Structure 1
Amino acid sequence: MTDPTGTTTVRLTTAQALVRFLAAQYSERDGVEQRFVPGVWGIFGHGNVAGLGQALLQAAVTGEADLPYHLARNEQGMVHASVAFAKTRNRLQAFACTASTGPGSTNMVTGAALATTNRIPVLLLPSDMFATRMPDPVLQQLEDTRGGDVTVNDAFRPVSKYFDRVTRPEQLIPAAQAAMRVLTDPVETGAVTLCLPQDVQAEAYDWPVEFFRRRVWHIGRPLPEPDALARAAAVIREARRPLLIAGGGVVYSEAETALREFAEATGIPVADTHAGKGALPWDHDRAVGGVGSTGAASANELAREADVVIGVGTRYSDFTTASHTVFADPGVTFVNLNVARLDAAKHAAAQLVCDARTGLEALRRELDGWRVPDAHRARSRELADAWAAVTDACRRVEHGPPPAQTAVLGALNEELDDRDVIINAAGSMPGDLQMLWRARDPKAYHVEYAYSCMGYEVAAGVGVKMADPSREVVVLVGDGSYLMMAQEIVTMVSEGLKVIIVVVQNHGFASIGALSESLGSQRFGTKYRYRDPATGRLDGSVLPVDLAANAASLGAEVIRAEGIKGFRAAIAQARAADTTTVVHIETDPEGPNPPGSAWWDVPVGQVSDLDSTRDAYETYRSQKQGQRHYL
């Protein structure tokens, strides 16, 4: 039909229109086009079952829109799976997630925070209350005395990069386009939330057909501004002990070759963050390991000595800077190359606001003929080799039974191929992994450490495997994170995804237990134990929890491994399997840890009746003296 202006229109519900719109969106970078939204994750309930649920069904039955639906088991989990997918696809594709009104929608808030903190795109479609307010209050509605338009979905505002509430069908036209603008912007990307009142989802409207045309969102590679490039190069040319920090931006911009060529041409040693690990192979001559609170002694020593720090695609989290203590040279200067000015401007740096690949290529040309002093090059190699010897010992430590976690990680690293993906997010493992894991591929190390969200791991395994089925995907999860969100094992099974899940059982929170002890809190409340009638505390005998049996009940094949030899055999068996397989192994939560070489600021009580806390505070006060702003 045509409207009075002569515009060709089609009558659809708001939900049907949104499905058609999303199916027609594409991204393009370097001449490669691909569907930006490959599908929708969802759990249906009142609020979306007759709206988006009906629209997705209609699309599948009639073929009017190609937008596959995937059923999740937990709303937070489906956002995590979507983030892991987008991260693996270098932010060039992103899923949409729909949830029912009330708790179904607010379950996605943690996932939104994770996506935005990590700067990974995901489109959230939480159902909302009636726009008409005829049924008022409706089931699960928040009644706020301050305003009638407030709903629980307003909780998404601070954790979304873009937020809108579509209270009329025609509002979807600008809202959907604004959502795509943010999702495909390397600087602004993160969680995008479009709240959809349940009556508006089902309301019909005459939509302009042009709204559904194929749209390509071009993701460019901004070039460095010439004067800024000259200023940055001038700072680097004066450096005697420079250090480059490779962050996630190197990986997202696919700048691995540019980074390697820059490092080889200049001789500058390269340290990495969790997000940048693998951008330069661990055994490359210029690679010196992870930097910061849980970094390598080699990288941290070079960071302390550095007179110029070149940050590429890093946001300088407190773990990277060791809470502003690791860059210790009194006159240290920063050169930051980042697509986001927010990050480029940190630490009073000389700023290169540009794409990581184009920036590194331009900086290499600008520095043509310049190299670091031979002594600095030799020292960086000497430190890296010494650290490799230390980690060799940690990875093969004889301990137990049960074995030390470091030995489990070493065995796992040796059993996997270079392209196999390791996934982790929380607990003691990210620290051990940053020190011990040896990655040669930029997608082989998938550790979410911006939000460090317990429960991310299993769900992320779904997303990573969907993003790249050619890779073996290994989820590494402690018992604490496993118990918070294991439901997506069912999703793996139902989707026919082959994922290996390594469940490390240590009967409590190993990471926070060790941190608690170091801060004088005596591992209080960090062990899974019965309550002791004598003390009234949770420090009795070990609980009879069987996580292997739990995983089997969710549909996974399960292998119980004992000792490192048994663990190696179990991994080999899991690799040969064609279904989701869980390898369960017990470790010693107080087993030997890799040697730390930097600090993390976690305040300790200034006054206490406990000797352990008083002693810890004195240590804390001493460490804090090395903390400073980089001005």
Structure 2
Amino acid sequence: MSPMSRPPRPSRATHRLTVAQALVRFLAAQYTERDGVRHRLIAGTWGIFGHGNVAGVGQALLEAGEEVMPYHQGRNEQAMVHAAVGYARQRGRLSTQAVTTSIGPGATNLVTGAALATINRLPVLLLPGDYFATRAADPLLQQLEHPVAADVSVNDALRPVSRWFDRVTRPEALIPSVLAAVRVLTDPAETGAVTLALPQDVQAEAYDWPVEFFAERVWRIRRPAPDPVELAEAARAIRAASRPLIVAGGGVHHSEAEDALKALVDATGVPVASTQAGKGSLRHDHPADLGGIGHTGTAVADAVARGADLVIGVGTRYTDFTTASGTLFGRPDVRFVNLNIAPSDAYKMAAATLVCDARAGLEALAGQLAGHRVDAAYEAEYRAGRESWERVVEAAFRAGDDSAVPTQTQVLGALDAVVGDEDVVINAAGSLPGDLHKLWRARSPRQYHVEYGYSCMGYEIPAGIGVQQAAPEAVVWSLVGDGTYLMMPTEIVTAVQERLPVNLVLVQNHGYASIGGLSESVGGERFGTAYRHRAADGTFTGAPLPVDLAANAASLGMDVLRAKTVGELREALAAARACDRPTCVYVETDPAPTAPPAEAWWDVPVAEVAAREAAVAARARYDREVAARRRPL
């Protein structure tokens, strides 16, 4: 048969849409599924529009409508990423949000949020505008002209902080690109920030899309089981250990493995200490819960860690705060077993590995350890340590005089007395993360929401919005100091606009209190850490700045409750919890330190030579501490 006589091929059904319209429709049809429960992957899109996305993704969101893709209006691009990350963490990484920006500063404002998401292994989809793919208008407004690479744009700054990056320069390239993007977003071992840079002319270009591109897709979140050989080796190590310790990381929460951890601990008596991301893996009053571990850990957790002969890491990255910069796990014969879905984390600390889902691995270990329990004397020892530490917590929280100005730990004590089991407490930076890690009594798996992978000032308020969106029934508390508040109060406007009853606890301490304390300890003499006028000698040692942050929060639309005393603080927190509007509780604290001191070291290098006495003394202390560091080999 000649080519001219062949029958025509059946036409393929297509939809003619712009690239942006097709992208929005595709994202609306993506779902995750774990344990038989389905979740919408991209639950909404945050956006600030400029010339790089207003006629592309902006028009596509308008045309799709709220039922297809809910739109959220942000005030700062970094904050929009924080809100999406807060949402994703609250939803156990099974659902997240997208963020669209224009080119130029809108796009580069995403970098900090992207780094936070990737470091914390939390999924977020970034959709920044980009230059013209056709180069028809070149250079355009806000375009970076690189001298030796014409294909470089400011969006390339997102490459090192994204788990996956692509620039979609042709309509048909969107199909493989966005499929790969969703694969990474839904992979528990690979997830983080995913960036699709979208040239603004390509966003608006029409294409005939195959209808199957828009069919519902379900991305199943696997629970890989441990390798039988690795499982048997881990079980032998635990049975042989006399002083084992579990270090619970964020992977316990991501896998929803809290019940499996509790079952293993109830059966074996192995105690649990938690990282910042893992706090709440056991309820605070469980007899085997030792609280936080490491530089900001409890006395009992760090004492047990120093004497442990086997450390079982579950879903942890072993950051420097957790290991006290390599000085915490001090027994010469200490060994490690790491249960982690990410091989790169499982192999840390020269550990025997269980590369698997946290819940699947813990359940399998429980089966292998049937009938095994740690020695009764070991249990009695760490339980006595728990009781001793609880008295420390009570002393830090207690206020003897209701008419006194509260200390920061008394602020936490007042909040502790008000919160319910399902309330969510959010923090990220300053001195509060250390106090919370040591002292907070986590009552449920999602209550303790401290971002300490990137410890990003400005995270708390937008994250509170994301958490409130993800869990509208929860009471959400964003805790910030004055330094963090000044970094990013803008999303208060969003909370007011969306009628989200986020509670803000704003602690005024006239500067960077945490870094001030650190500066003093390393010979920096609190240089540049106080919010004060300049004195006659040019230093920032004059009177405190006459700023009124409570008035600022009120001007952005929040209800504000000012508390000057411990008694007023208790009343204000109770009133805020009952309020159905965004509410700020403003309190100025007594600067006297009342938190328990650090139980373990943290390596912040000190000047090796200096003329000032404080730095010379700090270096001598540093040399003594660093000598204790050891690397597991």
Q: 1:260 is matched with which residue: 259, 262, 276?
A: 262
**Cross-structure match for 1:38:** 43
| Number of residue pairs the alignment of both structures matches | 625
Work out whether residues 510 and 590 of structure 1, in 8 Å CA contact, stay in contact via their aligned partners in 2.
Answer: no
SS in 2 for 1:38: strand
**Cross-structure match for 1:445:** 448
Q: 1:496 is matched with which residue: 486, 496, 499?
A: 499
Q: Please tell me the residue identity of whatever aligns with 2:329.
A: F
Distance of 1:398 and 1:43 partners within structure 2: 49
Distance of 1:82 and 1:336 partners within structure 2: 30
* Deviation for aligned residue 1:279: 1.2
SS in 1 for 2:321: coil
Work out whether residues 508 and 588 of structure 2, in 8 Å CA contact, stay in contact via their aligned partners in 1.
Answer: yes
User: 5+ residue gaps in structure 2?
Assistant: 1-7
Deviations 1:383-434 (CA, angstroms, capped at 9, x unpaired):
1111111111111155895321011111111111111110000000000000
How does 1:592-611 map onto structure 2 within 5 Å? 592-611=594-613
Q: 1:374 is matched with which residue: 373, 376, 397?
A: 376
* Deviation for aligned residue 1:374: 1.1
Q: Please tell me the residue identity of whatever aligns with 1:488.
A: E
Deviations 1:231-258 (CA, angstroms, capped at 9, x unpaired):
1111111100000011111111111110
How does 1:317-466 map onto structure 2 within 5 Å? 317-398=319-400, 401-466=404-469
SS in 1 for 2:65: helix
Work out whether residues 405 and 566 of structure 2, in 8 Å CA contact, stay in contact via their aligned partners in 1.
Answer: no
Distance of 1:241 and 1:530 partners within structure 2: 54
SS in 2 for 1:275: coil
**Cross-structure match for 1:181:** 183
**Cross-structure match for 2:544:** 542
Q: Please tell me the residue identity of whatever aligns with 1:56.
A: L
Work out whether residues 404 and 566 of structure 2, in 8 Å CA contact, stay in contact via their aligned partners in 1.
Answer: no
Distance of 1:316 and 1:271 partners within structure 2: 13
Deviations 1:549-572 (CA, angstroms, capped at 9, x unpaired):
000010000000011111000011
Work out whether residues 514 and 590 of structure 1, in 8 Å CA contact, stay in contact via their aligned partners in 2.
Answer: no
* Deviation for aligned residue 1:595: 2.2
Deviations 1:284-340 (CA, angstroms, capped at 9, x unpaired):
011111100000000000000000000001111111111111100111000100111
Work out whether residues 406 and 594 of structure 1, in 8 Å CA contact, stay in contact via their aligned partners in 2.
Answer: no
TM-align CA RMSD: 1.2
TM superposition score normalised by structure 2: 0.97
Distance of 2:83 and 2:9 partners within structure 1: 45
Distance of 1:216 and 1:279 partners within structure 2: 29
Distance of 2:344 and 2:305 partners within structure 1: 22
Q: Please tell me the residue identity of whatever aligns with 2:215.
A: R
How does 1:83-98 map onto structure 2 within 5 Å? 83-98=85-100
* Deviation for aligned residue 1:590: 4.1
* Deviation for aligned residue 1:34: 1.6
SS in 1 for 2:43: coil
Pair 1:527-2:530 in alignment: yes
SS in 2 for 1:453: coil
SS in 1 for 2:333: coil
Work out whether residues 397 and 406 of structure 1, in 8 Å CA contact, stay in contact via their aligned partners in 2.
Answer: no
Distance of 1:346 and 1:88 partners within structure 2: 27
User: 5+ residue gaps in structure 1?
Assistant: none
**Cross-structure match for 2:3:** none
How does 1:97-246 map onto structure 2 within 5 Å? 97-246=99-248
Pair 1:287-2:289 in alignment: yes
Distance of 1:315 and 1:193 partners within structure 2: 24
* Deviation for aligned residue 1:4: 6.4
SS in 1 for 2:480: strand
**Cross-structure match for 1:54:** 59
Distance of 2:405 and 2:626 partners within structure 1: 36
Q: Please tell me the residue identity of whatever aligns with 1:517.
A: E
Identity %: 61
Work out whether residues 249 and 356 of structure 1, in 8 Å CA contact, stay in contact via their aligned partners in 2.
Answer: yes
Pair 1:11-2:25 in alignment: no
Distance of 1:494 and 1:447 partners within structure 2: 25
Deviations 1:416-472 (CA, angstroms, capped at 9, x unpaired):
111111000000000000011001201000000000000000000100000001110
* Deviation for aligned residue 1:596: 1.6
SS in 2 for 1:245: strand
Work out whether residues 403 and 591 of structure 1, in 8 Å CA contact, stay in contact via their aligned partners in 2.
Answer: no
TM superposition score normalised by structure 1: 0.98
Distance of 1:81 and 1:624 partners within structure 2: 38
Q: Please tell me the residue identity of whatever aligns with 1:16.
A: Q
Distance of 1:10 and 1:466 partners within structure 2: 33
Distance of 2:316 and 2:10 partners within structure 1: 50
Q: 2:313 is matched with which residue: 311, 314, 319?
A: 311
Distance of 2:594 and 2:572 partners within structure 1: 23
